[in-house]
Amino acid sequence: DTGVSQDPRHKITKRGQNVTFRCDPISEHNRLYWYRQTLGQGPEFLTYFQNEAQLEKSRLLSDRFSAERPKGSFSTLEIQRTEQGDSAMYLCASSLKDPGGYTFGSGTRLTVV
């Protein structure tokens, strides 16, 4: 297992377009998290899955954001009608238990132009 994989690493999109990011967690980890990090700030919690169930969604996530984790394996984060304020690093992490030793992916850096 090579850790948590995120794809793509970088995404540049025009305002108003939809984008989708993928996260492949460590296979034994049933817990998966999405965070968003803007320049000079620590990451902020977006959403949490335990297996395929989305147990919490931050109020930071507007209706334009949706996350899924079908079959409790990989997860996708979709942003519809992107805005410049969505530009950030989107980080995925997984763990085996709560609280747990978290393994983070390398992130997807989104730039909305």
Asked if 69 touches other proteins (CB under 8 A), the answer is: no
Asked if 21 touches other proteins (CB under 8 A), the answer is: no
Q: How far is residue 29's CA from residue 27's CA, in Å, rounded to a whole number?
A: 6
Asked if 74 touches other proteins (CB under 8 A), the answer is: no
Give the list of residues 6+ apart from residue 4 with CB closer than 8 angstroms, or none.
23, 24, 25, 26, 92, 93, 94, 103, 104, 105
- Of 11, 19, 29, 35, the one binding other proteins (CB under 8 A) is 35
Using the structure block, give the residue that is written with the tokens 């147990």. Answer: 55
Token digits of residue 91: 């980080």
Q: How far is residue 66's CA from residue 77's CA, in Å, rounded to a whole number?
A: 6
- Of 23, 79, 105, 112, the one binding other proteins (CB under 8 A) is 105
Asked if 1 touches other proteins (CB under 8 A), the answer is: no
Q: What phi, psi does 59 have (nearest 5°)?
A: -70, -10
- Of 8, 16, 18, 41, the one binding other proteins (CB under 8 A) is 41
Asked if 45 touches other proteins (CB under 8 A), the answer is: yes
Q: How many residues bind other proteins (CB under 8 A)?
A: 29
Interaction site with other proteins (CB under 8 A): 31, 33, 35, 37, 40-45, 48, 50, 55-56, 89, 91, 93, 95, 98-107, 109
